[in-house]
Amino acid sequence: MMTILIVLAAAAQAYLLGSIDTGILVSKCLYHDDVRNHGSGAAGMTNMLRTFGKKAAALTAAGDVLKGVAAVCIGRWLFGFLPADAAVSPYLGVYMTAILAVIGHSKPIYFGFKGGKGVLVAGGAILAIQPILLPFLTAVFLLCLIPTGMVSLGSITMAAAYPVLTLIYGLLKGFAAGDLAVCVVGALIMGGMVIYMHRANIQRIRAGKEYRFGQKHKKN
């Protein structure tokens, strides 16, 4: 019973924390508007930058990363109370909370289940789980962004690379088979969610109509 309660508590805090959508709060509190009414309709850093500028984007980025870090750290702390005989991988709690924080961000209960795409929340979660992977993921992102100017393409490629890098890292570190499986499956789910949330961007990329960094959206 204790194990179930701890797992439920960790899951709930991650989703509810993820649902505190920074972009929506910043746009409503500082600009008396809703960023979801503009541009791509997403409540993320990129749309905030195009719609309201650098200050709004910076605040959104900081908030999204921090809530990803917080959700994972709280989940790790709660899983520390599991009974010794629970036989649960220590990585199960961190990946479960990371996934639910991203879900909360993309489907926030406080804002009609319409939020952002979860890239920075996932980045914050990775920072809390395996920070050593972030420089490699950043390099992948920049290698796509710099020649194309497409933030979405960089995000999609980075999401696809995450489970591959997780597998390589786990093998090099000699993770136990169970822990490695949890990490790779968790990374696959996180990466898959981010790619799925970019499905409209993928269609625009194929059509040659995707927005490029620095390009302004037309006001609705």
Q: Residue by residue, what is the 3-state secondary structure of 17-86?
A: HHCCCHHHHHHHHHHCCCHHHCCCCCCCHHHHHHHHCHHHHHHHHHHHHHHHHHHHHHHHHHHCCCCHHH
212 within some domain:
no
67 within some domain:
yes
176 within some domain:
yes
217 within some domain:
no
Q: pLDDT tens-digit profile of 76-123?
A: 999 999 887 777 888 999 999 999 999 999 999 999 999 889 999 999
Task: Report yes or no: 179 and 187 within 8 Å, Cβ to Cβ.
Answer: no
94 within some domain:
yes
* Position 41 pLDDT exceeds 60: yes
26 within some domain:
yes
What is 133-144 written as a DSSP string?
GHHHHHHHHHHH
Number of domains, the chain: 1
* Position 32 pLDDT exceeds 90: yes
Host domain of residue 154 = 2-207
Cα separation values, 101 from 66, 67, 122, 163, Å: 11, 8, 8, 18
The three-state secondary structure class of 7 is: helix
88 within some domain:
yes
220 within some domain:
no
Whole-model pTM: value is 0.89
